[in-house]
Amino acid sequence: MGYREEYERWLSMFAADADTVNELKSIAGDEKEIEDRFYTELAFGTAGLRGVLGMGTNRMNIYNVRRATTGLARYLIAQGVQDRGVAVAYDSRIKSDVFAKETALTLAANGVKAYLFDALRPVPVLSYTVRHLGTAAGVVITASHNPPQYNGYKVYAADGAQLGPEAADAVTKYIRALQYADCVPMDEKEALDKGLLRIIGAKEVDDDYIAMIKTLAQRPELLAARGKDLRIVYTPLHGSGNVPVQRLLKELGVHYTVVPEQEAPDGRFPTVKAPNPEDPNAFTLAIPLAKQVGATVAFGTDPDCDRLGAAVQDGQGEWHTLTGNQIACLMLDHILSSKKQTGALPENGAAVKSVVSTELARAICDDYGVKLYEVLTGFKFIGEKIQQFEETGSHTFLFGFEESFGYLSGTQVRDKDGVNASLLLCEAACACMDRGETLYDALQRLYKKYGYFKEKSISVTLPGKDGVAKIASIMASIRENPPREVAGLRVLAVRDFKTGIRTADGKEEALDFPKSNVLYYEIEGGNWLCIRPSGTEPKIKLYVAARADTQPAVDALNDRMATEAQRWLE
């Protein structure tokens, strides 16, 4: 069926829904918009669903939420685990609460008990809840740090990590076998009366979650002694981090100020272009407030509070926004140095990073005798490593991170955790105060000790059907014409994660990674490049990483590599 026929089918199928009909009729003369909404179905992958809000097969709406939920319910029933129920959470985005209730009531209609939160919660709280309550799965309604016109539907497995590729494929088969008419929610009162809907909150989860986070402090006595001297500015960027992060900071005794304009939940995100702490512009309000109140650190979490970004003041009073790699290395060094100082560094300690994250982490881990593992992009793969460590007893997990501002130091959450990260950043800042330095000083100390590393991420947005084809064309062209050198430096090896082969000097070896459409180039001097399509947005992403002995040298090399490699995306 073509996109035009599907459009007409929706007008007929949902004729009783006046809002849907009116919205679809409003685009009747816009052929390009109709095509984009109906040329494909919103894909269900390892991150669930994510898309622009609106009516259509390729949009986030109640009908696609009901269909995905019915598919998930039938998958759980087939696995025989439906009696354990499903935890459901949501963030501050537009219609997140609506989609969450639709999810809970559609689960109930399939005989699967839903544990629905009484208000918005961060992604890591949902991950914790799945493990804490022992549910069969979890769903959180969020589009993370995407612009306000997006929303999404993330699914978590029983281990608290995002659904793996095999499970996602299985759920997809159930979804595709369904008609929209098969996916009808139960009445709310009926669900409550039958015990198929339970509303949960602080008593069931929040108190235990915050208590667990506090156990992740490396040196709690340091926080107790110096936390009151620390001056922090925090912005939740209109998201779900507001309540738990403020509660944590209060209970830690840290002196903090919240950016008032960005405190209240608001899915329009009116004070930022995008609610993304990766973007330095997210700190446009936080840094002036920090100057006003005498703070030396400002940090922010995204709407679902799984990411944390930060800006820090140097000794001369200048402010610097940090990259996710820099924040992660400050946390990693703090964890390892604290454990070594207290005699708690395990002989089998391990850290995990994504393949596109900084190699500075490897230098730090090598120095402390800690094994560093690499996984594909997607925190579910870090969650898988934690599970492997626990099942085999081979390693003790210490820290995991992605360059995209996601960090985790505990094991009771299996996704990146902005509340956990808030604790680590505050504690690292206190440790710096104790040494008479700033977080910025600590970062420069790491560079002087291990070498200068600089990474840059470049994204090109290519929306719609034409964008999908363009991204595929770019990846195919690079595979067919691989670079032999970049910025005058030889390419030593190519890792093609799609074929699962690493090629160096004409010799091939198998990669021990899941198959993924990712190309990684190892370049002489410890430099590298990586290119991949985004799994959650209509983007192709390029990662450029340079290493040198001085800051000016690494800046110049990174710029040359980026300029040359960016032409690949044209």
Per the CB < 8 A criterion, the answer to whether 540 and 459 are in contact is: yes
Where does residue 221 rank: exposed (0-12), middle (13-18), buried (19+ CB within 10 A)? exposed
Strand partners, 153: 49, 141
Could you say which DSSP state residue 255 is in? E
Give the pLDDT of residue 463. 85
Q: What are φ and ψ of residue 533, in 5° steps? A: -75, 145
Residue 367: per-residue pLDDT: 98
Q: Roughly how many angstroms between the first and final C-alpha of the chain, as a whole number?
A: 33
Q: Where are the alpha helices (DSSP H) in 197-259?
A: 207-214, 220-226, 242-252
Give residue for tokens 């069926």.
1
Does the pLDDT at position 405 exceed 80?
Answer: yes
163 vs 460: CA distance, rounded Å: 27
Higher per-residue confidence, 536 vs 526: 526
Q: How far apart are CA 347 and CA 395, in angstroms?
A: 9
Residue 176 has pLDDT above 80, yes or no: yes
Model confidence pLDDT, tens digit, residues 59-83: 999 999 999 999 999 999 999 999 9
- Reported as a single tens digit per residue, the pLDDT across 416-439 is 999 999 999 999 999 999 999 999
Architecture in CATH for domain 41-201: 3-Layer(aba) Sandwich (3.40)
**With contact defined as beta carbons under 8 Å apart, do 117 and 128 qualify?**
no
Residues in CB range of 50: below 8 A, 6 or more apart: 42, 60, 143, 146, 150, 151, 152, 153, 536, 537
Helices and strands, counts by H and E, the chain: 19, 23
The residue annotated as part of the active site, out of 96, 127, 144, 457, is 144
- Tokens standing for residue 83: 């009696």
Contact between 394 and 388 under an 8 Å Cβ cutoff? The reply is yes
Please state the pTM of the whole predicted model.
Answer: 0.95
Structure tokens at 531: 């290119």
Instruction: Give tens-digit pLDDT for 466-509.
Output: 898 999 999 999 999 999 999 999 999 999 999 999 999 989 99
Token pair belonging to 48: 């669930």
Distance CA 194, CA 224 (A): 47
Domain parsing of the chain, residue ranges: 1-39, 41-201, 224-450, 452-569
Residue at token pair 């004729």 = 15
Relative orientation angle of helices 123-133 and 207-214, to the nearest 10 degrees? 100
The yes-or-no answer to whether 224-450 and 452-569 have a common fold is: no
Tell which CATH architecture fits domain 224-450. Answer: 3-Layer(aba) Sandwich (3.40)
pLDDT tens digits along 195-250: 999 999 999 999 999 999 999 999 999 999 999 999 999 999 999 999 999 999 99
Please provide the CATH number assigned to the domain covering 452-569: 3.30.310.50
8 A C-beta contact, residue 329 and residue 361: yes
Number of neighbours of residue 413 by Cβ within 10 angstroms: 32
For the question of residue 534 being annotated catalytic, the response is no
Maximum CA pair distance of the chain?
A: 70
Task: Indicate whether 535 pLDDT > 80.
Answer: no
